[in-house]
Structure 1
Amino acid sequence: MLSPHDPLLSSSASSLAALVRGKQISPVELVDAFIARIEAENPALNAVVVDRFERARGEASAAEALLMGAHAGEPLPPMLGVPCTVKECIAVEGMPNTAGVHARKGLLAPRDADVVRRMRDAGAIVVGLTNMPEGGLWLETNNRVYGRTNNPWDPARIPGGSSGGEGAILAVDASPFGIGADIGGSIRIPAAFCGVFGHKPTGGLVSNEGYWPSVPGALDIFLCTGPMTRRAEDLWPLLGSMAQRPLEGRPEAVDLREVTVYPLETGAARVREDQRRAVRRAARALEARGARIEALRTRGFERALEIWSAMMEEEAGALSYAEVLGNGRAISLPRELLRCSRPDAPHTLQALVVAAAEAILKWVPAPLATWSRAGKWLREELEAELGPRGVLLHPPYTRTAPRHFEPLLTPFDFVCTAIFNVLGFPVTEVPAGRDAAGLPLGVQVAARRGADALTIAIAGALEADLGGFVRARPSRSAPFRTTPPRR
C-alpha cells in the first residue's frame, strides 16, 4: 500500500505516469495517496474547495483495469492514472462551476471543458476543484461561495490569483499538477507566490471552451488556459495534451549557446530589490550555460498598464464585471458596498472594489485606439528584437506574496504579468529561491508567439540552477475554512 507520506509522491507527474505504465504503482493506490495528502494539508489552506474523491477512485479502478488488460507493447494514455486538480471555473462534468460567484451557487457543469476532456483522454484523473476569486479578476483568492485561500508558506498572506487554489495545493505537494487559466497573471502570480511552475501558453494554443465566464473576440486569445506543476519537465508533455493544435519545436532541441537573454528588472511598476536580484541571478545562470546577455532596446513596458487596459477594453465590448458578479445581470454596486461587511453578503470587498473601478473608468475619456496601436507596435518590435531564440526575463510581481487585503493598496502591480497577455506571448513562471522572510521568489521567462518550447527549455535550466520547487509546510494552528468542501 502506497503511503501518503511516501517521498515517491513528490516525483514529477511524468515520472508517476511512467511508474503506472510500468505497473510499479497502482492507479488506485496513487489516487488514494494523493487524496490522503489533500485531506491532511487542505484544512490550513482551503485550496481544494470541491472534492471529487469517490468519482476519482472509480476512475482509478477503471484505469487499473485498462492497465492490467493491456498487451505488452500496447500504447497507453500518457498520463494514465495520474491525479490532478482543476480551477473551479473550468468545467468538470457534474461538478460545481460557480467561478466563486454567489449567484451561480448550486450550478453544475453539464460537460467537461475542452482542456479537461483532453486531459482525461490522456488518462489523468481529476480529484478536486480549486478555489479562485469571484469571477477570476483579482489576485486575492476569496469569495462568498467557498471562503478564503491562504498562502502555504504563511497563512497571513495571499496565494495569488486567480488560480490561487491551484498554486497553494501544488505547493504542499498534494497534487501532481493542476489546470489554471490566466488573463492578467492568474497562472503566473500564484505560481510565483507559492513557489511552483506555471505556463501561460501562446494565445489561442489551448482552447478556453468550457471556461466561465466565456470571453468574446480577442479576449479569447488574451485568456490562456495552461498547466501548473511542481517540476519543469511536466510542462511540455502536459501542454501537448492540452493544446488544440500541434506544438512548435521541442525543449530538448534548444541550445542555450544560441539563446539571447534580455533581463528587464522593472517596467510600469516599482519592483523591489529582491525581485530584481532574482532576475539578475537567473540571467547570470543562463550566461554561465553559454547564453548571451543583452539589454533590451524596445521601449514601451513603462506604459504597460495603459496598453493592457486599452486592449482589454477594446475587445471586452459589453462584457461587464458587475454582470459577471450577477451571473449575467449587473449587481447594484451602491447596495452591495453598503452590505459587504455583513456575514451573509454575497460579494467580497475586493470584488466590489474591482467592479467599482471598472465602472468609474468607463466614464473617464481614454485614447483606447492610441494605446491599442501602441500595444500592437510593442508586440511587433519585441518579436523582431527577440527573434526565434531570444527570451525576456521579468519579475512576476513587485514583491513576494503580500498579506491579505494588502493588494488593494497597490492595485496596478499586476501589470508585471498582464502585459504579456495582450501581446499573446508564451511565458513560463519559474521558482527562483526565497527572500529573507522565506517567501518564494519567481522569474518570468517570455518569448515571441509560438516559442513555448523555448521558455519551457529555459525553465528547465533555471530549475537546475536556482533550486526549483521546494515543498511548503503550512502552519496548522488554526482552521481557515469558512465553508465545507462540496462533493
Structure 2
Amino acid sequence: MAPLLTARIQLLLLQAMGFLIGLVGQAARAFGGPKFDSMTTRPVTEPLLLLSGVQLAKLIRQRKVKCIDVIQAYINRIMDVNPLINGIVKYRFEEAKKEAHAVDTKLAEKQEDDATLEKKWPFLGVPLTVKEAFQLQGMPNSSGLVNRRNTISQTDATVVALLKEAGAIPLGITNCSELCMWYESSNKIYGRSNNPYDLRHIVGGSSGGEGCTLAAACSVIGVGSDIGGSIRMPAFFNGIFGHKPSPGVVSNNGQFPVARGAQELFQCTGPMCRYAEDLTPMLRVMAGPGIQKLKLDEKVHLKDLKFYWMEHDGGSILMSKVDQDLILAQKKVVAHLESMVGASVQHVKLKQMKYSFQIWVTMMSAKGHDGKEPVKFVDLLSDHGKPISPLWELIKWCLGRSTHTIPAIGLALLEEKLKYNSEKYKRFKAMEESLHKELVEMLGDDGVFLYPSHPTVAPQHHVPLTRPFNFAYTGIFNALGLPVTQCPLGLNDKGLPLGIQVVAGPFNDHLTLAVAQYLEKSFGGWVCPGKF
C-alpha cells in the first residue's frame, strides 16, 4: 500500500476512534454531567471589574481607588462565578490582600507623580492570574499530571517575576489540559473548566482556565503559553484577546513541560486579556530584554497597511469546514477595513495551508539546532521515571482506573504513528519553507493576514475528540514562527464568541497589536457573559 494512503488511513482511524470516544463522553455528559441552574455565568455589577489593567493601574497610582478595594472586588467575583467555570484551581487571596495593602501603604507614604510611578510599576495593583503550567511561588505546578500534584513552585517563572515587578498582584493559578497538549482544559487533578458564555461548551486549551477566568471577569490580565494555539484557541472560544509573540521575544523559562528540540523555537509565552489596550504594555513587561527585537514604539497607520485574507485552509479532509457565521464575521471585517479605513484588502489562496496539520507535526518532531530530539510525550506521562504502557492505560481508562485523560492516552498511543519517515519529513519540511517564504514576502513589514481562529465556535464538551486536528488553524503559525493576535468579534446568534487571527511578518508584532485595538473599537471587543 502506498505510504501516503497508509498515513491517510491511520489518520482516519484516529478520527473514528475519537468519534466513538466523543459519543461516550457526550452520553456521560447527558446522563451524569453536572447540572446548572443557568447555562451562563452571572453578569458583572461591580464597575471596577469593567476597567482595563491600564485604567486600573492609573486610578490606583493616582490614589483615586484603593488597591485593596480592587483586589476585594475581584475576590468577590471569583467566589461568585468560579464554582461554575472552574477556571482558577488554586487561590492566593490572603497573600494578594496583603500585597494590596502594601501598595496602598506605599502610595500613602510616597508622593511621586503618576508618570514616575507608571514607569516603575505600569501594572501597579492590577489583578493577575497565571496558567498553572507556570511557576508561581507557593502554588502548584503540575500541568494537570497526577504524579506532579504535590509539586509546589519554589520560585517564579521569568514572565511571572517580571509582571510582579511591574506591580501586578496574582490572585491564583488557572486550569490547563493534561501536560498542555490538548484543546479542552480538563485533567484528573482539577477537573474540567466550562465556558462562561455557555457552561456546556469548552474553554479551549491548553490555557483554557486562563481564557474563561478572564472572560468571566474574574481577572483582567493573564499569562498563557502557545505551541499549537494554546493562547489563541482559549482566547477565541472565550471572546478575549491573546497574543502569540514572535519566537524568542518572551522567555519560556519556568514552565512545565519544558520544550526541547525544534519545539523550543515554536513554543511562545504571551499575554491574555479582556481589553486590547493591555496587550502592548503587557508584552513590554513580559519580554524584558527581548523587547529590543520588536518595534512597539513605531506608529501604525492602518490605511497604509496591506491586508490579506483567506476564509479557510483550502479544504483539508482532516479539518472541519469553517462555520458560516465565522466566514461572515471575517467578511464584515474586510468590508469595514475597505470602507472605513480605505485599506487595500486582498483575498489570497495559499495552497499549502491545506497541509497545516502535517507541517505542524513535521516541525514539532524535528531536532533542534543543538541536535536534541524533542521529549517524547509518553515519557512525560511516566510515573516518577517508571515508564507507562499507553495500551494498558487505555484499558484502565475504560475501567475508570487510569490517572490520565483520554486525549493524553490517545496521543501516547499514536505518537510514533504521527511521526513521518525521512521522505515525508523532507516533503513537509519543504512545504513549510515554501509557505514561510511566501507569507513573509507577501506581508513584508507593512502587511497583515486575516485568517480563521478555528473552524468552529467553541464546541460542546468532548466534541474535540471527534475533531482532533482542528487546532491546525492556529498551530500552523507556530510552525511558521509568525506573530499572531487573536481578536474577538462579538457573539453569534447562540451567544458564543466569534473572532479572527491577525498575523504579521517576523517581529512585526506592533502591526497585529495595532489592528487588535482598532477591531476592538469597531466591533466591541469583549462582551460580558450573562447579558446575551
Q: Return the TM-score normalized by structure 1.
A: 0.93
Matching residue of 2:162? 118
In the alignment, does 2:143 pair up with 1:99? yes
Change (3 A) 1:189 1:294: same
Aligned residues: 472
In the alignment, does 2:328 pair up with 1:277? yes
Matching residue of 1:322? 378
SS of residue in 1 equivalent to 2:415? helix
In the alignment, does 2:112 pair up with 1:72? yes
Q: Is the 8 A contact 1:77 1:123 kept in 2?
A: yes
Deviations 1:24-71 (A, max 9, x none): 111111111111111111000111001111111122122222222223
In the alignment, does 2:80 pair up with 1:36? no
Change (3 A) 1:97 1:263: same
In the alignment, does 2:308 pair up with 1:262? yes
Matching residue of 1:367? 424
Change (3 A) 1:315 1:32: farther
Q: Is the 8 A contact 1:298 1:385 kept in 2?
A: no
More deviation, 16-25/339-348: 339-348
Q: Hey, what's the Cα distance between the residues in 2 that align with 1:10 and 1:221?
A: 36
Deviations 1:386-442 (A, max 9, x none): 111111101111100111111111111111000000111110100112222111111
Q: Is the 8 A contact 1:251 1:454 kept in 2?
A: no
Q: Is the 8 A contact 2:365 2:374 kept in 1?
A: no
Matching residue of 1:13? 53
Over 3 Å off, 4+ runs: 327-330, 341-344, 362-366
SS of residue in 2 equivalent to 1:243? helix
Q: Is the 8 A contact 2:308 2:448 kept in 1?
A: yes
SS of residue in 2 equivalent to 1:461? helix
Paired residue for 1:307, among 359, 373, 383?
A: 359
Q: Which amino acid aligns with 2:258?
A: S
In the alignment, does 2:492 pair up with 1:435? yes
SS of residue in 1 equivalent to 2:444? helix
Change (3 A) 1:297 1:155: closer
Matching residue of 1:446? 503
Q: Is the 8 A contact 2:361 2:418 kept in 1?
A: no
Q: Hey, what's the Cα distance between the residues in 2 that align with 1:251 and 1:271?
A: 36
In the alignment, does 2:488 pair up with 1:393? no
Q: Which amino acid aligns with 2:240?
A: V
Structure 1 residue 318, shift from structure 2 partner: 4.4
Percent identity over the alignment? 40
Structure 1 residue 295, shift from structure 2 partner: 2.6
Change (3 A) 1:311 1:318: closer
Deviations 1:338-392 (A, max 9, x none): 1114555311112211222213324877611331232122212211111111111
Matching residue of 1:339? 396
Matching residue of 1:160? 204
Matching residue of 2:296? 250
Q: Return the TM-score normalized by structure 2.
A: 0.85
Structure 1 residue 286, shift from structure 2 partner: 1.8
Structure 1 residue 329, shift from structure 2 partner: 4.7
Paired residue for 2:459, among 394, 397, 402?
A: 402
Change (3 A) 1:261 1:318: closer
Paired residue for 2:345, among 265, 285, 293?
A: 293
Q: Hey, what's the Cα distance between the residues in 1 that align with 2:415 and 2:423?
A: 13
SS of residue in 1 equivalent to 2:234? helix
Change (3 A) 1:31 1:319: same
Matching residue of 2:512? 455
Q: Which amino acid aligns with 1:147?
A: G
Q: Hey, what's the Cα distance between the residues in 1 that align with 2:493 and 2:276?
A: 25
Unaligned runs of 5+ in 1: 476-487
Q: Is the 8 A contact 1:132 1:165 kept in 2?
A: yes
